[in-house]
Structure 1
Amino acid sequence: MHLLNLGILAHVDAGKTSLTERLLHTAGVIDEIGSVDDGNTRTDSLALERQRGITIKSAVVSFAIDDITVNLIDTPGHPDFIAEVERVLSVLDGAVLVISAVEGVQAQTRVLMRTLQRLRIPTIVFVNKTDRGGARYASVLRAVSEKLTPAVVAMGSVDGIGTRGARCAPFGESDPVFVSRLTELLAERDDALLAAYVDGAPLPYSRLREALAAQTGQALIHPVFFGSAITGAGVDALISGIRELLPASRGDADGPVSGTVFKVERGPAGEKVAYVRMFSGAVRTRDRLPFGRGGGRGESGERGEPGRRDEAKVTAISVFDQGSTVRAASVRAGQIGKLWGLGDVRIGDAVGVADAGAIDHLFAPPTLESVVVPCPPADRGELHFALAQLAEQDPLINLRQDDIRKEVSVSLYGEVQKEVIQATLADEFGIDVTFRRTTTICLERVVGTGSAFEVGDKDPNPFLATIGLRVDPGPIGSGVQYRLEVELGSMPFSLMRAVEETVGETLRQGIHGWQVTDCIVTMTHSGYWPRQSHSHAVFDKSMSSTAGDFRNLTPLVLMTALKQAGTTVHEPMHRFRLELPADTLGPALPVLARLRAVPRTPAVQGASCVLEGEIPAARVHELQQQLPALTRGEGVLETAFDSYRAVVGTVPDRPRTDHNPLNRKEYLLHTVRRIAGQGESR
């Protein structure tokens, strides 16, 4: 029995959950097809998903196609939940990218296809909703070729498109136009086929189908199927395409244990359940399983935890079988399993042997944030606990605790995500919350070079630690790099580690309160007091350096150096593509200028116009709101994160959540008082 881990991806409302239901019904897993509108689909199991009719969390369900067991993963389509899609992509053998025959290629479709191609995931395209009014064939196929990839071939025709009776007929060897198109497309990427094609030698259709499967499996070309998940038209051809054209899972069941955690949820008793895709080896119940991750960097430049590794005993295992999960003694290479017992596991962790080539983030980081306010305020403790549990399931929520104001912020992709968090807190935790105004997450980059050092126990330094640090600009996208110009053995490792860790923590808030990235921090001076005591006495902290001395002094030295170097604040920018009637371009341009958009030269074709450019992420929502009135409801806007650009004009400051090492007096007052309270004052 072969295995295939298959992802269903699409822009929101293209019909991927309905397609999942149809595939399960056709495979005999379910007797009745559920409806997104009725809230009774197999994969949308959350109450909120059923209420809103959208997929929020990825879900796994299995079915069989002949001798292939398919683990099908239904993913969210709304861009606010792109992080959920990101985690799934790393575990797929193949994908079906669903496109609506009515709306055609949309913004999220482009983002998904670019990422699938970047990861070289074999992908079939399914054009859904051929039974809907306004459905198109030729123009959608042309849009797929122009906007996604030219390496596509239609696998069938549609009769009666746009009507309930639409029927899909697969192409075969008796169709000369299809055979010719297929031959040309395959020959472009196969020298043997090209030579035979040029020589005019006849190519058996079976040879073309073999080449089609091979090139699809290598993500070189993408077959396009048409159909309707609602009526079932074209679905049999799609299933045949999945079986024939997408490659089965690979992996050595006898090799070293290696897998990836792509989802974490809580069981009925509050226990953690980890969804793991196994690439090699096998995990058995009662195995002691190592898990964790190395120190990588996300696109925001924040450095991960260096070498976090844990180990725990697996207490139970489930695998997916015929639409449900069943308890099993093991989960082996190629399979997806649910593991119990890994109490400290997190999304993105490697189990067993870590994959050295793993990518931290495939999509842009969240660019928005908002303060979550409990109602009543007395629920702050419960709120933080609940948000921490949500962050386990979605690490990019990225909680930001402000101990001074007793507030907590969450990172967001959009307003819909805010509504989902609010509803989840109410439904699952009984906590009512409101949100403050959504703000943009900026970052700071270093402008020049700055350095500072302080000698231990020498005024104005009250700590038994000597630290010198230099800050330099780094390449864009490099994150925070930490280097040494002192001998590694000049201090105990615990003290060295304390400085490095505190550098990362301190740079989460720069001169203007934003995270500092793309810089190089170098330790230039070091010194410490060895462990010592008075005569015939035990170890005395007042005479010896501790890690606390270095953790307390590092922010003062680093921020002095950073202030000398200077930083600029950068805001997230989105690239946009706006299709609108040509006669509305004039009124639209001043609005774009007011929103600080930077449009390029418009392309006018008859009565329509296409305008591309950049716009601050903070202004995208406002543009979306004004667009219908500006364009008589005919405007179509696509936006996606592009890069960070230096802020022009007033520089935004973010309120600090620490005791501000830029204000030495305030910082020392708090720090020394805290140390005294812990019985560590000198």
Structure 2
Amino acid sequence: MAHVDAGKTSLTERLLYAAGVIDEIGSVDDGSTQTDSLALERRRGITIKSAVVSFAIGDVTVNLIDTPGHPDFIAEVERVLSVLDGAVLVISGVEGVQAQTRVLMRTLKRLRIPTILFVNKIDRRGARTDAVLRQIAERLTPAAIPLGTARDLGTPAASFHRMYGGADVLADNDEALLAAYVADAVPEDRLRSALAAQTAAALVHPVFFGSAITGAGVDELSDGIRELLPPAKGAPDAPLSGTVFKIERGPAGEKIAYARLFTGAVRVRDKLPFRTEQEGKVTAVAAFESGAAVPRQEVRAGQIAKLWGLDDIRIGDRIGEPAPGTDAHHFAPPSLETVVIPDRPSEKGALRAALAQLAEQDPLINLRQDDLRQEIFLSLYGEVQKEVIEATLADEFGLAVTFRETTTICVERPSGAGSAVEFIAKAPNPFLATVGLRVDPAPVGSGVEFRLGISLGDMPYAFFKAVEDTVHETLRQGLHGWQVVDCTVTMTHSGYYPRQSHAHQSFDKSMSSTGADFRGLTPLVLMSALRRAGTRVCEPLHRFRLEIPADALGPVLPLLARLRAVPRTQGEGVIEGEIPAARVHELQQQLPALTRGEGVLESSFERHHEVSGPPPERERTDHNPLNRKEYLLHVERRV
């Protein structure tokens, strides 16, 4: 993992070369690397999709996932976090700790993923190790332990010399080691074992220096990966448990799922359970060995598998027994949205199908379709992602498209509690169902939780499931059109008509409740409850760090005020604070002129905050259950 252009993909090439997997090192600039396999990646020189390679270090097999560094493709990084045994965070020895580096490290620390830091580009002019180590301690972690020194910095002869140290940092987490450290020097073998144990527990973070281009320090890094990152656990004869973290399409359009297996094994022709009551038959299997995916009859625990035949599988699906922490979201969702329009109106259907296939590979694109206006909305992390989607539609699907201006995505949070109920056979309820719902605020970041305030035996489970699914679907658009988050929805009332038949045993739908009744009534009841609870519209805020010349402070502060930025701390040449996400782009555009091109801006999503003034409205793309007449005209075709 790394900030874009830190040299992560070049380091992957060097590790493959050192392991004997490839005979020649590819170049990112030439588009000849193993992991940047997409034509678009080769043209742009950046990683867009995560890629898997495998190699051996001694008796240890390493499955390496090379992830994108550009913040627009953070969703690719998120999907692999739940399948890792450890991580290598690459930092440029020239640029130092950058915005994405901090975002990634915060997440790795929060998830307690064992992490090694590799300071790259020590052969480049401007490389500095002492300054980068200070940045690491200040901005990433105070528990970083340099495992050697770099010499001849900024020259092709730059090298890394490994030595064990960090006894003082290790002693902070080990009382016996602290006693030995105070009494006398700690033997190297004691340091090595303590370092391995504390790295595996994510208590400390070893730091290596080197160059992916010259190979300096890469052998030492390889040894560090083998010695310090914990090996995979899980028995192949245990019940199957795995997670799908990537989906791609083969040459014939067939779906291919990438899955990390934690326990158990998968064989060709196995029937795999996934999601609720879903199952698929595996038609082919491949495992990653010696750099590439090799066809196999079986893939076992600890390996990464490519699976064919699972047509309904989705990213994030768990196969077999659930694995811990596989369905959590670690980064902020996209905060931007745009409308994509085909240049040729006759290609609307083809565009919809193409975007659905892209959303299959990146669910956070989050397609929203407005049938009334015949428009498709996409969620985005940034303008580069929009450019990549445009190029992909042109290259892979032959579709020319244009995008409307990008807008910011807000969310809605309930202001208080509200409830509503509609009873079966009582006006104005036209559905054969009783549904009562209560909406309550929930802690920030908790999402949406559906609860039952009644007995599960009060009616068939399928009707409860219809209500729960419809609640989640309906809350994608709240009172102001934004997704509703951080709330608990409790079902308080239920009722139905059992299946009715005539004497000749034919089913009488007009006198029997169906799932459609509950799906039709739930949005009306839920939005009535939400209207009584009220909602607050919240916009995304970014945390920013601004480095500027001292004499630029005068013109920069008024700009920050005009953009509604709130500085929290201010030091010599550095301003930190929060700014609305919608204003970040304008700050980036105006900063060079105010700082003679010397201003450096880092920003990343921090939180959602209630907007001041009238709440912004978002156009609805559903049947609008806030307008009963309009809704029933669409759903029931009658009032």
TM tier, shorter chain? over 0.9
Equivalent-residue separation in structure 2 for 1:514 and 1:427 (angstroms): 33
Aligned partner of 2:174 among 185, 190, 198: 190
Which secondary structure state, in structure 2, belongs to the residue aligned with residue 470 of structure 1?
strand
Deviation at 1:79, TM superposition (A): 0.6
Aligned-partner residue type, residue 632 of structure 1: R
Cα 1:25–1:527 shift into 2, 3 Å: closer
Q: Find out whether 1:441 has 2:409 as its counterpart.
A: yes
Aligned partner of 2:383 among 409, 415, 427: 415
Q: Find out whether 1:255 has 2:247 as its counterpart.
A: no
Cα 1:375–1:259 shift into 2, 3 Å: same
Q: Find out whether 1:459 has 2:423 as its counterpart.
A: no
Number of aligned residue pairs: give it.
639
Q: Find out whether 1:372 has 2:340 as its counterpart.
A: yes
Which secondary structure state, in structure 1, belongs to the residue aligned with residue 579 of structure 2?
strand
Aligned-partner residue type, residue 166 of structure 2: L
Q: Find out whether 1:68 has 2:51 as its counterpart.
A: no
Contact 1:422 1:432 in 2 (8 A): yes
Aligned partner of 1:610 among 567, 574, 590: 574
Please provide the CA RMSD for this pair: 1.8
Which secondary structure state, in structure 1, belongs to the residue aligned with residue 193 of structure 2?
helix
Deviation at 1:534, TM superposition (A): 5.5
Equivalent-residue separation in structure 2 for 1:658 and 1:485 (angstroms): 28
Q: Find out whether 1:56 has 2:48 as its counterpart.
A: yes
Deviation at 1:364, TM superposition (A): 1.0
What is aligned with 1:594? 562
Contact 2:31 2:45 in 1 (8 A): yes
Deviation by residue 1:320-379 (Cα, 9 ceiling, x = unmatched):
121222111211111111111111111111111111443421111111111111111211
Contact 2:52 2:65 in 1 (8 A): yes
Deviation by residue 1:424-457 (Cα, 9 ceiling, x = unmatched):
1111111111111111111111112333333334
Which secondary structure state, in structure 1, belongs to the residue aligned with residue 392 of structure 2?
helix
Contact 2:316 2:327 in 1 (8 A): no
Aligned-partner residue type, residue 61 of structure 1: V
Q: Find out whether 1:667 has 2:622 as its counterpart.
A: no
Deviation at 1:535, TM superposition (A): 5.8
Cα 1:356–1:309 shift into 2, 3 Å: farther
Deviation at 1:166, TM superposition (A): 1.9
Equivalent-residue separation in structure 1 for 2:7 and 2:508 (angstroms): 68
What is aligned with 1:305? none
Which secondary structure state, in structure 2, belongs to the residue aligned with residue 10 of structure 1?
coil
Which secondary structure state, in structure 1, belongs to the residue aligned with residue 637 of structure 2?
helix
Equivalent-residue separation in structure 1 for 2:524 and 2:186 (angstroms): 74
Deviation at 1:661, TM superposition (A): 1.5
Aligned-partner residue type, residue 545 of structure 1: S
Q: Find out whether 1:158 has 2:127 as its counterpart.
A: no
Equivalent-residue separation in structure 2 for 1:432 and 1:311 (angstroms): 37
Contact 1:404 1:658 in 2 (8 A): no
Note the 1:245-394 alignment, pairs <5 A.
245-292=228-275, 308-394=276-362
Contact 2:285 2:299 in 1 (8 A): yes
What is aligned with 1:515? 483
What is aligned with 1:680? none
What is aligned with 2:603? 639
What is aligned with 2:587? 623
Of 460-469 and 244-253, deviating more is: 460-469
Structure 1: where are the runs of 5+ without partners?
A: 1-8, 172-178, 293-307, 676-682
Equivalent-residue separation in structure 2 for 1:323 and 1:536 (angstroms): 66
Which secondary structure state, in structure 2, belongs to the residue aligned with residue 126 of structure 1?
strand
Aligned partner of 2:528 among 539, 545, 560: 560
Equivalent-residue separation in structure 2 for 1:141 and 1:347 (angstroms): 37
What is aligned with 1:651? 615
Cα 1:119–1:340 shift into 2, 3 Å: same
Q: Find out whether 1:476 has 2:455 as its counterpart.
A: no
Q: Find out whether 1:217 has 2:185 as its counterpart.
A: no
Which secondary structure state, in structure 2, belongs to the residue aligned with residue 545 of structure 1?
coil
Equivalent-residue separation in structure 1 for 2:455 and 2:103 (angstroms): 46
Of 544-553 and 86-95, deviating more is: 544-553
Aligned-partner residue type, residue 614 of structure 1: E
Which secondary structure state, in structure 1, belongs to the residue aligned with residue 402 of structure 2?
strand
Aligned-partner residue type, residue 667 of structure 1: Y
Equivalent-residue separation in structure 2 for 1:62 and 1:535 (angstroms): 67
Which secondary structure state, in structure 2, belongs to the residue aligned with residue 602 of structure 1?
strand
Deviation by residue 1:183-225 (Cα, 9 ceiling, x = unmatched):
222222222221122222x532222222222222222211211
What is aligned with 1:679? none
Cα 1:580–1:289 shift into 2, 3 Å: same
Cα 1:485–1:261 shift into 2, 3 Å: closer
Identity of aligned residues (%): 71
Aligned partner of 1:110 among 102, 110, 116: 102
Cα 1:663–1:219 shift into 2, 3 Å: same
Equivalent-residue separation in structure 1 for 2:223 and 2:451 (angstroms): 55
Cα 1:472–1:34 shift into 2, 3 Å: same
Q: Find out whether 1:120 has 2:112 as its counterpart.
A: yes
Contact 1:93 1:122 in 2 (8 A): yes
Aligned-partner residue type, residue 627 of structure 2: N
What is aligned with 1:26? 18
Which secondary structure state, in structure 1, belongs to the residue aligned with residue 618 of structure 2?
coil
Q: Provide TM-score, normalisation by structure 1.
A: 0.90
Cα 1:498–1:322 shift into 2, 3 Å: closer
Q: Find out whether 1:241 has 2:233 as its counterpart.
A: no
Equivalent-residue separation in structure 2 for 1:212 and 1:455 (angstroms): 65
Aligned-partner residue type, residue 387 of structure 1: L
Which secondary structure state, in structure 1, belongs to the residue aligned with residue 494 of structure 2?
strand
Deviation at 1:537, TM superposition (A): 6.8
Cα 1:446–1:253 shift into 2, 3 Å: same
Contact 2:316 2:326 in 1 (8 A): no
Deviation at 1:160, TM superposition (A): 2.0
Cα 1:33–1:648 shift into 2, 3 Å: same
Equivalent-residue separation in structure 2 for 1:148 and 1:50 (angstroms): 31
Which secondary structure state, in structure 2, belongs to the residue aligned with residue 141 of structure 1?
helix
Deviation by residue 1:158-186 (Cα, 9 ceiling, x = unmatched):
22211233232223xxxxxxx6x522222
Equivalent-residue separation in structure 1 for 2:140 and 2:604 (angstroms): 15
Which secondary structure state, in structure 1, belongs to the residue aligned with residue 525 of structure 2?
helix
Cα 1:279–1:114 shift into 2, 3 Å: same
Q: Provide TM-score, normalisation by structure 2.
A: 0.96
Which secondary structure state, in structure 1, belongs to the residue aligned with residue 227 of structure 2?
helix
Which secondary structure state, in structure 1, belongs to the residue aligned with residue 636 of structure 2?
helix
Equivalent-residue separation in structure 2 for 1:362 and 1:343 (angstroms): 27
Cα 1:550–1:351 shift into 2, 3 Å: closer
Q: Find out whether 1:199 has 2:212 as its counterpart.
A: no
Deviation at 1:115, TM superposition (A): 1.4
Aligned-partner residue type, residue 503 of structure 1: V
Equivalent-residue separation in structure 2 for 1:222 and 1:144 (angstroms): 10
Equivalent-residue separation in structure 2 for 1:542 and 1:17 (angstroms): 62
Aligned-partner residue type, residue 389 of structure 2: I
Aligned partner of 1:549 among 501, 514, 517: 517
Cα 1:439–1:558 shift into 2, 3 Å: same
Of 152-161 and 256-265, deviating more is: 152-161
Aligned-partner residue type, residue 461 of structure 1: N
Equivalent-residue separation in structure 1 for 2:475 and 2:158 (angstroms): 59
Aligned-partner residue type, residue 596 of structure 2: R
Deviation at 1:41, TM superposition (A): 0.8
Cα 1:524–1:581 shift into 2, 3 Å: same
Contact 2:549 2:595 in 1 (8 A): yes
Deviation at 1:394, TM superposition (A): 1.0
What is aligned with 1:302? none
Structure 2: where are the runs of 5+ without partners?
A: none
